[in-house]
Amino acid sequence: MTPEPHPGSTALVPLALVVNGDAVRVAVPAERTLLELLRYDLGLTGSKQGCDKGDCGACTVLLDGEPVLACITLAVDADGRGVETVESLAKGQKLHPVQTAVVNHGAAQCGFCTPGMLMSAKHLLDGSRTPTREDVKQALSGNLCRCTGYTKILDAVEAAAREMAEARGGD
């Protein structure tokens, strides 16, 4: 459901961006955040609206390949850029290795932080083939979880890294 426009909203700003590989053309008020664009205009509700002010990391998406907080990114500032959300991780019915690892390790309890954790983890695993536990902690240090105590999340990301290394055939 689209939120009511803010009082005094100015003219709509046209944008062109690429979301999960799809070209998107849309017009939004300047005050629309990237998270609001994804969730309420495009129906991509995987990215979560947690604190909605840049503390918790539940809204983490990749913008031009880099993890950012969509709740404090303006949609207009994503014009001309590429966005990847948690919806891009699975290919059809096949989960990304880090998703499978989260399931197998019981690393999602309430699950609200999971999409943001997954995107921070994906960025780490894309850039580093053999991350240490400390690397994983650093990469996830901007994502808060109130259920797990983090241990199982860290275990899952480490397991995904090993799994992906094995799938590459130990190159």
Partner 1 sequence: MLPLPAFEWVSPGSLDELVRALGESPGESLLLAGGTDLLPNMKHGLFAPRRVIGLRRVRELRGIAETPAGGLVIGGGAPLDRVATDPRVMARYPALARAAGLVASPQIRRMGTIGGNLCLETRCVYYNQTAFWRGALGGCLKKDGPTCFVVPQGRRCVAAMSADTPAPLIAYGASVELVSVRGTRTLPVAKLFAGDGVKNNVRAADEVLTKVELPPPAERLFSAYEKVRSRAAIDFPLLSIAAAAVLDAGGHVVELTVVVGALGALPRVVRGLEITRAAPLSREAIDLVAEAAHTQCNPLSSLGAEDWRKDIVAPVVRRALAGLAPSRIAG
Residues near partner 1 (CB under 8 A): 3, 6-10, 13, 29-33, 49, 52-55, 57, 60, 66-69, 72-74, 76-77, 79, 120, 138-139, 141-144
Task: Give yes or no for a contact between 131 and 80, defined as CB atoms under 8 angstroms apart.
Answer: no
SS3 59: coil
Q: What's the min distance (Å) between Cβ of 22 and partner 1?
A: 23
Query: Which residues lie below 8 Å from residue 116, measured CB to CB, with a gap of 6+?
Result: 47, 48, 50, 56, 57, 58, 59, 60, 143
Tell me the backbone φ, ψ of residue 24, rounded to 5 degrees. Answer: -125, 130
Long-range contacts of 139-143 (CB under 8 A, 24+ apart): 142/57, 142/60, 142/67, 142/69, 143/56, 143/57, 143/58, 143/60, 143/113, 143/116, 143/117
Q: Which is nearer to partner 1, 20 or 60 (CB)?
A: 60
SS3 133: helix
DSSP code of 6? P
- Measured CA to CA, the distance from residue 60 to residue 74 in angstroms comes to 14
Q: What's the min distance (Å) between Cβ of 6 and partner 1?
A: 5
Q: Which is nearer to partner 1, 41 or 77 (CB)?
A: 77
Q: What's the min distance (Å) between Cβ of 167 and partner 1?
A: 26
Q: What's the min distance (Å) between Cβ of 13 and partner 1?
A: 6
Q: What's the min distance (Å) between Cβ of 125 and partner 1?
A: 14
